[in-house]
Amino acid sequence: MFIKDVINDILIVTCDIKDMYTNIKKDLGLKAIRYWLYKYPSLLHERFSIDFVLEALEFVLDNSNFQFNNNFYSLISGTVTGTKVAPTYANLTVAFLEISLYDKVKEIYGENIQKYVISNWKRFLDDGQILWKKSFGNIEDFVNILNSLDNNIHFTHECSTTGLPYLNLFLYIENEKLLTDIYYKDTDSHDYLPFSSCHPRHTKINIPQTLARIICTVVDDPKRKQFRLMELKAWLKKAGYPISLIESAFLKVNKVDQLTLRAKVPPKSENLLVYVETHNPKNPKVFEHLSKFFNFLKSFERFSKLFEGTKLIRSERQPKNLGHLLQHSCVNLDKPKNGCQKCNKKSCGTCQYILETDSIYFSRLDIYFKLLNAFTCESGNIIYKITCNGCGEFYIGLTVNLRHRVTNHKFCLFNEASRIQKVHRHIHDCAGSMLVPFSIVPFYKVKRDTNVARLSTESFFIRKFNPRLNRDK
Ligand SMILES: [Zn+2]
Ligand SMILES: [Zn+2]
């Protein structure tokens, strides 16, 4: 912490890169990644060469596409934010610019201030922060250096002699000391996962502890810390967490001193064997058995060597929620037109038999039947009409999968042993030499997905249209 005469010299400064992802040009990004790859080649996994990584990165950057309302869009500048590589890519690119920053600071302010800047300039992705000393000169000059690093990267900044938010921290000066408090954005509604939610129990139990841990790590002033914990307790209570659970979590975290909480925890290098399952409280407890068998297996000498130091753990995958089920990356505002259309997929064996139309005509009854749904080769749970291309007689059938049904009809038509039904015998004799002996139109969607509904709908249409090819004699 700072002694009195020094703290008066301090200006708390936070910087933010304006629209970082969209403003990193590809040339700069690739140059930066190339630089880091050649600087630390040993960090690269032996399976990958530098050229492979660069080529793959360029491929990702060049292929950021999405579809909206039947139009395809491609990102032409910057980095797409959704891709996995984006944060690392952006981070390394800005870090590459920081090399020039330190050089320029040395040029303008000298080596001592360069050293100070190297150890005091902190950044998380696009958010930078420094405790600037007024004795160094005007902060605007420093920000100007930041803005000279690249023409497209623009830093905005804020400064204060009393306090400023930075990430989830509030940095402030009190009694000649620089302290930190937790900072919540105004938009934070503190709606934590409800305790009644269908999540694995350990997930919910961890929430009070994780949140309390953040407070205990971040908040310097003990009185403020207690206030922040009380605040959190009220929010968690609102989300249905039992008081006893909240209190025991707080107690556990409170016992650990702040220095330990703030210390960097080195990543554990464990050999993990992960059993992944989709979370559902109703699933049988497979993992408990697995774990028992795994231990049994390890009791044999051969396997104990094989699995030495291996830990079997369970991981639960989130099941699809309503959001996942309702969203699709392809947004199409055009409603499909009612009628029957070929799917036009390359290897579809049904397309050539599909008659594209929005109504069918029953000549004997002189009835036009309008198709009130959209049908393709991929439709199912439907009533269809097959017309003999030789004479125009027809057959009415039902299927849960049109494509499978057409395959089956074709098979029966061309294999004598299977040519038992009248429809197949007739079409074979009447139109068997034609390239496309019959055409098919799915014309009615059965509303309910049950056998009874399908069969009664089919028999309704057979009675109504009286198709000759359905009669077996
Ligand atoms: Zn098709
Ligand atoms: Zn015929």
CA of 397 to the centre of ligand 2 (A): 17
Ligand of minimum distance to the alpha carbon of 389: 2
CA of 358 to the centre of ligand 2 (A): 23
Cβ–Cβ < 8 Å for 102, 117: yes
CA of 447 to the centre of ligand 1 (A): 23
Q: For tokens 């994780």, name the residue.
A: 210
Ligand of minimum distance to the alpha carbon of 428: 2
CA of 438 to the centre of ligand 2 (A): 9
Ligand of minimum distance to the alpha carbon of 376: 1
Ligand of minimum distance to the alpha carbon of 379: 1
CA of 364 to the centre of ligand 2 (A): 15
Counting as low any pLDDT under 50, the low residues of the chain are 1-4
Rounded alpha-carbon distances, angstroms, from residue 453 to 86, 373, 374, 380, 465: 51, 17, 20, 13, 18
CA of 379 to the centre of ligand 1 (A): 10
What pLDDT score was predicted for residue 309? 86
What pLDDT score was predicted for residue 270? 79
Ligand of minimum distance to the alpha carbon of 356: 1
Q: Where are the beta strands (DSSP E) in 297-338?
A: 310-317
CA of 19 to the centre of ligand 2 (A): 68
Ligand of minimum distance to the alpha carbon of 439: 2
What pLDDT score was predicted for residue 2? 47
Whose CA is closest to 405, among 359, 454, 362?
A: 454
- Percent share of the chain, pLDDT over 70: 96
Ligand of minimum distance to the alpha carbon of 434: 2
- Secondary structure of the chain in HEC code, one letter for each residue: CCCHHHHCCEEEEEEEECCHHHHCCHHHHHHHHHHHHHHCHHHCCCCCCHHHHHHHHHHHHHCCEEEECCEEEECCCCCCCCCCCHHHHHHHHHHHHHHHHHHHHHHHHCHHHHHHHHHHCEEECCEEEEEEEHHHCCHHHHHHHHHHCCCCCCEEEEEECCEEEECCEEEEEECCEEEEEECCCCCCCCCCCCCCCCCCHHHHHHHHHHHHHHHHHHCCCHHHHHHHHHHHHHHHHHCCCCHHHHHHHHHHHHHCCHHHHHCCCCCCCCEEEEEEEECCCCCCCHHHHHHHHHHHHHCCHHHHHHCCCEEEEEEEECCCCHHHHHCCCCECCCCCCCEECCCCCCCCCCHHHECCECEEEECCCCEEEECCCEECCCCCCEEEEEEECCCCCEEEEEECCHHHHHHHHHHHHHCHHHCCCHHHHHHHHHHCCCCCCEEEEEEEECCCCCHHHHHHHHHHHHHHHCCHHHCCC
CA of 360 to the centre of ligand 1 (A): 19
What pLDDT score was predicted for residue 3? 47
CA of 345 to the centre of ligand 1 (A): 6
- Secondary structure of 335-347 in HEC code, one letter for each residue: CCCCEECCCCCCC
What pLDDT score was predicted for residue 265? 85
CA of 354 to the centre of ligand 1 (A): 7
CA of 353 to the centre of ligand 1 (A): 8
CA of 405 to the centre of ligand 1 (A): 13
Ligand of minimum distance to the alpha carbon of 390: 2
Ligand of minimum distance to the alpha carbon of 377: 1
- C-alpha triplet 362, 365, 370: angle, nearest 5°: 45
